[in-house]
Amino acid sequence: MHFVPVVLTPEEKALQSEVRTFLAEELPKGSYRPALGMNAEHSPEFSKKLAARGWLGMVIPPEYGGQGRSAVDRFIVVEELLAAGAPVGAHWIADRQTAPTLLRFGTETQRRRFLPAIAAGECYFSIGMSEPDAGSDLASVHTTATKVDGGWSLSGTKIWTTGAHRSHFFVALCRTSALGVDRHQGLSQLIVDLSSPGIKINPILFLDGTHDFNEVVLEDVFVPDDMVLGELGMGWYQVTSELAYERSGPDRFLSTWQLLKTYLAERSERAIKVAEQLGGLTARFWTIRQLSLSVARALQLGQSPEVEAAIVKDLGTTFEQEVVAVMQSVMEDDPDPGSSSLFESLLAQAILVSPSYTIRGGTTEVLRSVAAHGLMSRK
Ligand SMILES: Cc1cc2nc3c(=O)[nH]c(=O)nc-3n(C[C@H](O)[C@H](O)[C@H](O)COP(=O)(O)OP(=O)(O)OC[C@H]3O[C@@H](n4cnc5c(N)ncnc54)[C@H](O)[C@@H]3O)c2cc1C
């Protein structure tokens, strides 16, 4: 495993304090209510504000409308946004995942069409990987694209598609040639306009009635040839390399940071009584943050840290869940738990969504298996 210790440069620290100041000024203006990690509010206005400061599309080169900055610079901005609970929901997937994938595999036409709009905070993407019978075992996707004049006819069902009801496009993993001996062959990625005829987006509501993810039913959806992402038949390779961007960032350890922060802000007099638990969590936090930062530095250097990313996601999401468990037990012991505070509402939300942290983006069992296989093959 390669986790190289990372120390931020003076320029990186200056960026960190610039973002902190911006967020501290925005909060009292009421431009957002702190929320939990990447599940935070969908706010195109806020996304555009960030874009205007050059904090979206940071790793996109200037010729495609981005900032041409490093993965570590992006890490710094994203970390501050998540730690503050800022509304990152609208642009999240496009900025984190779609942009680097387009840079790596997209055609020149696709880059010119999508990257400037992503960097401007105006074009939102979802992920069309999972299906009712294909989650961890992604190679068993049934969605099929059949060749037609000028493009592809796409049919199948995607599920758990976060934000599909608000996104403009999603990247669908599908079969473009018949299932052969090797299930990993014959898969491709298509960029699909979610307003195309033949698409039905059915909400899947959370227990509390909120709407974040969906079932997306595709019936003979026409996808033009120029919307094939990367090489036909290379979908498996592309998807697995894309997951390194999805798995290692601050979104995998900061989802419940607001809980800790708000607890300390609202109940500082009680915090001393649970100092041991809080100290333990803080120490774990700094270790995981270092590991995650180290993956960002490796991405900046052009390396492919898939194994390290899997390990960071496992450690990070388990940590996020533990924060909720500790906060819950602390509250149960609190003689005056209060009500209607920001902390109370964040805790309720965290109890509801935190079980998903170790499922979304790859389950803990699968990540451990990825890490184990990767480490074996490096021997
Ligand atoms: C909040 C949330 C948002 C999501 N957003 C998206 C999205 O936007 N787009 C998208 O495409 N998907 C999305 N997903 C889907 C997510 O990627 C899948 O839920 C995940 O990959 C697991 O697949 P599954 O639900 O089919 O479970 P399964 O794969 O059926 O797994 C069930 C259980 O079996 C275990 N298991 C499976 N295979 C193995 C194995 N080989 N070894 C050991 N144990 C195993 C798993 O760890 C798990 O505990 C989202 C999920 C959640 C919870």
Instruction: Supply the CATH number for residue 164's domain.
Output: 2.40.110.10
**d(C-alpha 315, C-alpha 156), whole Å:** 34
Q: What is the pLDDT of residue 144?
A: 98
Q: What is the pLDDT of residue 114?
A: 98
Q: Which pTM was predicted?
A: 0.94
230 and 325: one domain? no
Res. 358: pLDDT tops 70: yes
356 Cβ closer than 6 Å to some ligand 1 atom: yes
Q: What is the pLDDT of residue 215?
A: 98
52 and 167: one domain? no
169 and 186: one domain? yes
31 Cβ closer than 6 Å to some ligand 1 atom: no
117 Cβ closer than 6 Å to some ligand 1 atom: no
Ligand 1 geometric centre to CA of 127 (Å): 13
Residue 10 has which token pair?
A: 């003076």
**d(C-alpha 155, C-alpha 144), whole Å:** 6
For the chain, how many structural domains are there in total?
3
Q: What is the pLDDT of residue 90?
A: 97
**Packing angle, helices 306-332 and 364-378, rounded to 10:** 150
**d(C-alpha 217, C-alpha 201), whole Å:** 6
Q: What is the pLDDT of residue 364?
A: 94
- CATH assignment at residue 342: 1.20.140.10
Residue 178, domain member (yes or no): yes
Q: What is the mean pLDDT of residues 191-210?
A: 95
Residue 5, domain member (yes or no): no
Residue 311: band (very low, low, confident or very high) from pLDDT cuts 50, 70, 90: very high
372 and 254: one domain? yes
How does the average pLDDT of the chain come out, rounded? 93
Residue 148: band (very low, low, confident or very high) from pLDDT cuts 50, 70, 90: very high
Task: Work out the percent of the chain whose per-residue pLDDT is above 70.
Answer: 98
C-beta atoms surrounding 256 within 10 Å: 28
213 and 281: one domain? no
Residue 335: band (very low, low, confident or very high) from pLDDT cuts 50, 70, 90: low
Catalytic positions are: 246
Query: What is the tens place of the pLDDT at every residue in 46-105?
Result: 999 999 999 999 999 999 999 999 989 999 999 999 999 999 999 999 999 999 999 999
Q: What is the pLDDT of residue 339?
A: 62
Q: What is the mean pLDDT of residues 2-15?
A: 92
Write out the residue range of the structural domain in which residue 283 sits.
Answer: 248-378
Residue 120 has which token pair?
A: 């401007």
331 and 271: one domain? yes
Pick from 103, 151, 101, 97: which is nearest to 124 by CA? 97
Rg (CA), the chain: 21
Ligand 1 geometric centre to CA of 25 (Å): 38
What SS3 class is residue 316? helix
Task: State phi, psi for 120 to the nearest 5 degrees.
Answer: -85, -5
170 Cβ closer than 6 Å to some ligand 1 atom: no
> Which of 124, 136, 138, 201, when mutated, tests ligand 1's pocket best, judged by the most ligand atoms within 8 Å of its CB?
136
39 Cβ closer than 6 Å to some ligand 1 atom: no
- In ligand 1, the atom with minimum distance to the C-alpha of 364 is 47
**d(C-alpha 79, C-alpha 120), whole Å:** 20
Query: What is the tens place of the pLDDT at every residue in 271-307?
Result: 888 899 999 999 999 999 999 999 988 888 888 788 8
Ligand 1 geometric centre to CA of 187 (Å): 19
- Of 310 and 30, the structure prediction assigns the larger pLDDT to 310
**What are the start-end ranges of the E strands in the chain?**
125-128, 144-148, 151-159, 169-175, 187-193, 199-205, 211-224, 228-229
Ligand 1 geometric centre to CA of 336 (Å): 39
Q: What is the pLDDT of residue 242?
A: 78
Q: What is the mean pLDDT of residues 188-215?
A: 95
End-to-end CA separation in angstroms for the chain: 10
Q: Where are the alpha helices (DSSP H) in 140-274?
A: 235-247, 257-266, 268-271
